[in-house]
Amino acid sequence: MTDPQPKGHPLTRPFFFVLGLMFVGLGVLGYILPVMPGTIFLIMAAGCFARSSRRLEAWIEGHPKYGPTVVAWRRHGAIPRKAKYLAIGMMTLSFAALAITHPPALWFWLTGAVLLACALFVASRPEGPRAAP
């Protein structure tokens, strides 16, 4: 069985293939380590495999546990409610830990602004497929 022709230039396919494998490894680590996200790396791996290996892209999207989240993001930009709460909660805890351990300075406020922007972005994403008008 041959791999259907992926998007992307033939010279860049090996680069995206290796990058996709690295992202899968980081994604697996993210599901093992509590301080690192996992799903975002699988989303990036699926994007790399779309340009290098349609078979591996289909494998990620078809995974029974992680595939639905990857597909929801890639097709609808959706983030499940539980994941939103977890992400925003971890950003809040990170900033609180920073506030306790470091005196406010310019970088402190810049970090807070970036975390707030990220939290607003996460909160603004739909929780599932958009309803048809």
> Distance between CA atoms of 129 and 71, rounded to whole angstroms?
10
Task: Show Cβ contacts of residue 74 under 8 Å, excluding neighbours closer than 6 positions.
Answer: 43, 46, 47, 61
Q: Is the dihedral of CA 19, 23, 25, 26 positive or negative?
A: positive
Q: What is the pTM of this model?
A: 0.76
The model's pLDDT over 56-72, given as tens digits with 9 standing for 90+, comes to: 999 999 999 889 889 99
DSSP element (H, E) containing 69? helix 67-76
**pLDDT score of 8 more than 60:** yes
The model's pLDDT over 29-55, given as tens digits with 9 standing for 90+, comes to: 988 987 788 888 999 999 999 999 999
